[in-house]
């Protein structure tokens, strides 16, 4: 197995995630796309850990998973609050602080 096949898969998933974050207007879907991006990063970390036959890459992937779980909890709480206050989760309409 080449290292590059994993890195390229991860790059493609990352780009798809970026498209999701930029194009979609539903807040929950944007959070899901962020999860996709974090997963692409994890594949990179684990691929390099296997390439260098070292453990720290895998440990960092575990940390990323933990931080992603925390991020989803807070993010969904914020979207829930947004929905409760405005009956809408369209991210393009959240422009209160727009200059």
Partner 1 sequence: MNVYAEMTGLDPLTSGEVVVAQNIAFGLIAIIMIFSALRMVTTRNVVHAALYLVIVLAGAAAIFILLGAEFVGVTQVLVYIGAIVVLFLFGIMLTRGAFGGINLEEKAEQRKMSILVAGLLAVVTGGALINTFSDAEIARSSPSTTATVGDSIFSQFIIPFEAVSVLLLAALIGAIVVARKD
Q: Does 29 bind partner 1 (CB under 8 A)?
A: yes
Q: Do the Cβ atoms of 45 and 61 come closer than 8 Å?
A: yes
What character string, x for contact with partner 1 (CB under 8 A) and - otherwise, covers 55-84?
A: xx-xx-xxx-xxxxxxxxxx-xxxxxx-xx
The structure tokens listed for 73 are 């909890």
Q: Does 96 bind partner 1 (CB under 8 A)?
A: no
By C-beta, is 56 or 98 nearer to partner 1? 56
Query: How far, in Å, CA of 47 to CA of 9, rounded?
Result: 11
By C-beta, is 84 or 97 nearer to partner 1? 84
**Beta-bridge partners for 90:** 26
């Amino acid at each position: 197995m080449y290292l590059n096949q994993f890195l390229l898969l991860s790059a493609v998933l990352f780009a798809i995630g970026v498209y999701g974050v930029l194009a979609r207007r539903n807040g929950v879907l944007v959070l899901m796309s962020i999860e996709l991006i974090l997963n692409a990063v994890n594949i990179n970390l684990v691929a390099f850990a296997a390439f260098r036959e070292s453990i720290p890459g895998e440990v960092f992937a575990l940390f990323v998973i933990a931080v992603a779980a925390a991020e989803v909890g807070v993010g969904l709480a914020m979207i829930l609050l947004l929905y409760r206050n405005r009956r809408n989760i369209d991210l393009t309409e959240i422009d209160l602080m727009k200059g």
